[in-house]
Chain A
Amino acid sequence: MEYLLHILILINIYIILSTSLNLIAGYTGLLSIAHAAFYGIGAYVTALLSIHFGTSFLLNMVLGMAVAGLLGVVVAFPSLRIHDDYFVIATFGFQMILYSLFNNWVSLTRGPLGIPGIPQPRILGLTIDSHGEFFLLTALFALGSYLLLSRLVNSPFGRVLKAIREDEVFAQALGKNVTLYKTLVFVVGGALAAIAGNLYGHYITFVDPASFTVLESILIISMVIIGGAGSLLGSVVGAAFLILIPELLRFIGLPSAIAANVRQILYGSLLVLFMMFRPQGFLGEFSLRKMGAESK
């Protein structure tokens, strides 16, 4: 039972990550391989604050979101000048720099040793410490961020995002401040990813750089792409699918020592296969094939 709940908790956390990245990559067309950096910011802010200042769960969350939001402004900046695959490379750069900070700023982050001992969250006098409670907590936040994003993408705001994805020049000619929108989606998407980082930190009670590598970013973008860029439901499916499939391998008796590798091999091949045969993913509303080709 605990194992099952553990998997469900992870799925909840990844739903927050994949849906928030979908806002950036799927709806606005800004393919980013830096989402694990925002995720990491949320986790590290949580870890550092609660260890050094004993701050509460919600305060950690808000401050993590604020820092990630600021990072969002910075990461969005290159998208004003460079596009498509060049922008992907730029996000790669941010991911690597942030990872480098987590890993090398030893006096702050303890480097590869990580930060242990993050306390369990307390909300309204209640301590969340069982798997069941953590499941409820993460489910609440996953649902909340899903509803928030779905409002956003189905509003006139979302209409502008899709216009920017399809034709930035047209959007500008219609009087839309493309710069502002690109920045806003990175701020919102990044802040939501920080929520996931906060939940992860409080749940595992330990953070280290290995959880926020570029491979993690590739995993999250794979969830978005395989689920379907431009479909929030698709991102939920993508997250659940990529978390569950490797777990199924355990049932066929795969030793856990190699599970991590097999898991990555699996999602790597899925990414290749989807790109080859179904670039729009399970539920995508548009094909990435169009992206890039038309905005040139």
Chain B
Amino acid sequence: MIEVRDLSKSFGGIRAVDKVSLRIEEKKITSIIGPNGAGKTTLFNLMTGFLLPDQGQVLFRGEAITGLFPYQIARRGIARTFQDLRLIRQVTVLENVLLAGKNQKGEKLFHALFWNGIRGEEKKLREAARAILAFVGLTEHAGELAGALSYGEQKLLTLACCLAMEPDLLLLDEPVSGIHPEILEKILALFQELVKQGKTVVFIEHDIEAVRKVSDTVVVMDEGKVIATGKPETVLQDPAIVEAYLD
């Protein structure tokens, strides 16, 4: 699905990501774990075009996407969330999801000016957005301001925005950290549901229980390097890793 080859990025002499090579399998849930500063988020930023690598390549469905703009990568079917929950807090929950809608004619200047086919599209978009909100369980909050939601609900909303983009691959940065166990269960169930729908999920997480529960593959990073990859039952039992990271 997505593959990185020999990817490196340094910040002021510190190698945040150091020759990482990784292959993510399609229709699977992959989690990336590792201590703070291991380079997990930097890896995401490199994969989504928000940072340019010093060297190495990112391949999506076999095509190189290194050097593309973030919006181009997003349009190819990669949706991502951010650790610090990026949303438009001053507008409603529904509008956030509408904003994320893919290939909108109404976003083009010409169509916007002449209301060319916008009304019909808007209606479809709204239906789709409501369906997504129902899927993540935010229907009753649709009309509220995004900023008024609880922390956990905001995380659900960022997920909803990702889904509205109709991506094939979701890169989620700490989607369940610091949220209520109830919502956590819900999000993990959503992951499994998404995979059933044919999507691929990669998430960065510190919550080992969550990682163990849903991951098909676990990737462990430390100091910019991938130090282990494998099934959760093997990786999370490895004494070296347990000692280095889990304690």
Q: Please report A residues at the B interface, Cβ cutoff 8 Å.
A: 148, 151-152, 155-160, 162-163, 166-167, 169-179, 184, 188, 285-286, 290
Say what secondary structure dominates the interface of chain A. helix
Please choose the segment from B21-29, B85-93, B176-184, B227-235 that sits at the chain A interface, where 4 or more of its residues have CB less than 8 A away: B85-93
Given contacts A156-B98, A159-B99, A166-B88, whether A173 and B74 have CB atoms under 8 Å apart is yes
Please choose the segment from B57-65, B103-111, B211-219 that sits at the chain A interface, where 4 or more of its residues have CB less than 8 A away: B103-111
Given contacts A151-B115, A173-B86, A174-B99, whether A156 and B70 have CB atoms under 8 Å apart is no
Bound Cα distance A151, B107 (Å): 12
The answer to the question of B80 belonging to the interface, with a C-beta cut-off of 8 Å to chain A, is: yes
Given contacts A157-B107, A157-B108, A160-B107, whether A166 and B90 have CB atoms under 8 Å apart is yes
Q: Which of B70, B91, B104 lies in contact with A173, CB distance below 8 A?
A: B70
Given contacts A148-B113, A167-B86, A167-B88, whether A156 and B74 have CB atoms under 8 Å apart is no
B107 touches A156 (CB 8 A): yes
Bound Cα distance A3, B124 (Å): 52
Bound Cα distance A163, B101 (Å): 13
Given contacts A151-B112, A155-B118, A159-B99, whether A172 and B107 have CB atoms under 8 Å apart is no
The answer to the question of B161 belonging to the interface, with a C-beta cut-off of 8 Å to chain A, is: yes
Residues of A within 8 A of B165 (CB): 174-175
B100 touches A155 (CB 8 A): no
B80 touches A173 (CB 8 A): yes
Given contacts A169-B50, A169-B86, A170-B87, whether A175 and B118 have CB atoms under 8 Å apart is no
Residues of A within 8 A of B196 (CB): none
Q: How far is the CB of A184 from chain B (nearest CB, A)?
A: 5
Q: Which of B48, B86, B91, B109 lies in contact with A157, CB distance below 8 A?
A: B109
Question: Chain A: which residue is nearest B85 at the CB level?
Answer: A170
Bound Cα distance A172, B161 (Å): 13
A174 touches B90 (CB 8 A): no
Interface centre among A166, A170, A178 (most CB of B within 10 A): A170
Number of A-B contacts (CB under 8 A): 89
Q: How far is the CB of A271 from chain B (nearest CB, A)?
A: 24
The answer to the question of B144 belonging to the interface, with a C-beta cut-off of 8 Å to chain A, is: no
Residues of B within 8 A of A184 (CB): 109
Q: Which of B91, B108, B161 lies in contact with A174, CB distance below 8 A?
A: B161
Q: Which of A151, A162, A176 lies in contact with B113, CB distance below 8 A?
A: A151
A152 touches B113 (CB 8 A): yes
Which B71-129 residues have C-beta < 8 A from chain A?
Answer: 71, 74-75, 79-80, 82, 86-91, 95, 98-102, 104-109, 111-113, 115, 118, 122, 125
Residues of A within 8 A of B86 (CB): 167, 169-170, 173
Residues of B within 8 A of A155 (CB): 106-107, 111-112, 115, 118
Q: How far is the CB of A283 from chain B (nearest CB, A)?
A: 15
Bound Cα distance A167, B146 (Å): 14
Bound Cα distance A162, B98 (Å): 13
Which A-B residue pairs are the 5 nearest by beta carbons? A156-B106, A157-B112, A175-B74, A155-B112, A170-B86
Bound Cα distance A188, B50 (Å): 28
Q: How far is the CB of B143 from chain A (nearest CB, A)?
A: 16
Q: How far is the CB of A188 from chain B (nearest CB, A)?
A: 7
Q: Which of A156, A173, A177 lies in contact with B48, CB distance below 8 A?
A: A173
